[in-house]
Amino acid sequence: MAKDKVWVDCPVCGEEKSMEFRKNQVFNASNEDFGKIKVEGLSGYFCKACSDGFFDISSKNKIKFAISEAKAKALSEIVKAVEVETIARLAKELHTSKTYAIQAMREGKVSSVFVAGEMRPFRKSIEEAKKMYLAKKKKKLISH
Ligand SMILES: [Zn+2]
């Protein structure tokens, strides 16, 4: 597992020993794809001089999940009900477990829609995930 880096000097503005660990940080973003999102309770290292900084890994994941959820909500209005697929189908197409399939949707690797409060794949997102999966497999075959 990846470990969080302890920042001391600021790599952005070059100030020495200016990085401090901060809790209760808020992340705001707005985007045409998913509208506005706000994630609270984040932590990471930020610079006392220029206020630039880095969220830690768990905070980055929280942001990733929030973005995937917001995208899924936005897509729910576009994707037709007949195109919605089951998580089992996604897992089967990717030759993986349901747990991994859910994780892939939460991380935004596979697009999803919200159906009855649950993230679900849809026809096109499964096709795209399959293509990505096959491309990765090919790459592995070449590099090994
Ligand atoms: Zn700085």
pLDDT below 70 — which residues of the chain? 1, 141-144
Backbone angles phi, psi at 127, to 5 degrees: -60, -45
* E strand residue ranges, 19-128: 19-31, 35-47, 53-55, 113-115, 118-120
Tell me, in angstroms, the distance from the centre of ligand 1 to residue 53's CA: 8
What's the confidence (pLDDT) of residue 143? Answer: 57
Tell me, in angstroms, the distance from the centre of ligand 1 to residue 54's CA: 11
Q: Judge whether 72 and 114 are in contact, CB under 8 Å.
A: yes
What's the confidence (pLDDT) of residue 133? Answer: 84
On whether both 15 and 49 belong to a single domain, the answer is yes
What's the confidence (pLDDT) of residue 139? Answer: 76
On whether both 96 and 143 belong to a single domain, the answer is yes
Confirm whether 45 is domain-assigned. Answer: yes
Confirm whether 3 is domain-assigned. Answer: no
DSSP state of 36: E
Domain range spanning residue 20?
A: 8-62
Tell me, in angstroms, the distance from the centre of ligand 1 to residue 19's CA: 7
To the nearest whole percent, how much of the chain has pLDDT over 90? 83
